[in-house]
Structure formats: C-alpha cells, structure tokens
Amino acid sequence: MAEILRRRDEIIRIAAARGASNVRVFGSVAAGRARPESDVDFLVDLDPGRSALDVSELILDLREALARDVDVIVIRRESSTADLVRATATPL
C-alpha cells in the first residue's frame, strides 16, 4: 500500500483523465496482505456519460503506470458485496 500512497497524485490524475473520481483501494493491497504478484484492486466513481470503454482504458493506463496487474470496479447497484467492498476500501 505504501507504493500506491506514494503514487497517489499520479493515480488520481490518471483516473480523472478517464472520468473516474473518488479512487479507493481494496483487497489484498489495502489489507496489507499483498504479495509481489498481487494485483491492485481499485474502486472508483465514474462520471455520467462514461462507459465500460473508459474503465477498460483506465485499467490499461494504471497497469502501464504501476507495472502490475490492476482491476477497476464501478459499483452500479447496491448489494451486500458492494457494501463489503466499500467497507474495506481505503481512499487515496
């Protein structure tokens, strides 16, 4: 998580360029259980009018910048899983 926090401004800038805001990290990285091969899981809010293509491009941009696998999710409907992700996510 320390590397992600060091690169916070860069990550937020990349996300904003693709219409994403309120960037949060969840999963093994946020929990401090990440291994070198672990991906980074991001939760973002997406601006109105943005699409799955924007999310795909954001994933590619973050993978390139961080030189590791990245997943990005946008919660579009409420569920117990959505609540769990939000509860465990760490804001950048």
Task: Give 10-residue mean pLDDT values along the chain (92 residues).
Answer: 95 98 96 93 96 97 97 88 88 94
Please give the residue range of the domain that contains residue 86: 2-91
The domain tally of the chain equals 1
Q: What's residue 80's pLDDT?
A: 85
Residue keyed to tokens 């994403």 = 20
Q: What's residue 74's pLDDT?
A: 94
Q: What's residue 39's pLDDT?
A: 96
Q: What's residue 84's pLDDT?
A: 86
Q: What's residue 7's pLDDT?
A: 97
Cα three-residue angle 11-34-6, rounded to 5 degrees = 30
Q: What's residue 27's pLDDT?
A: 95
DSSP state of 67: T
DSSP state of 37: T
Residue 14 belongs to domain with CATH number: 3.30.460.10
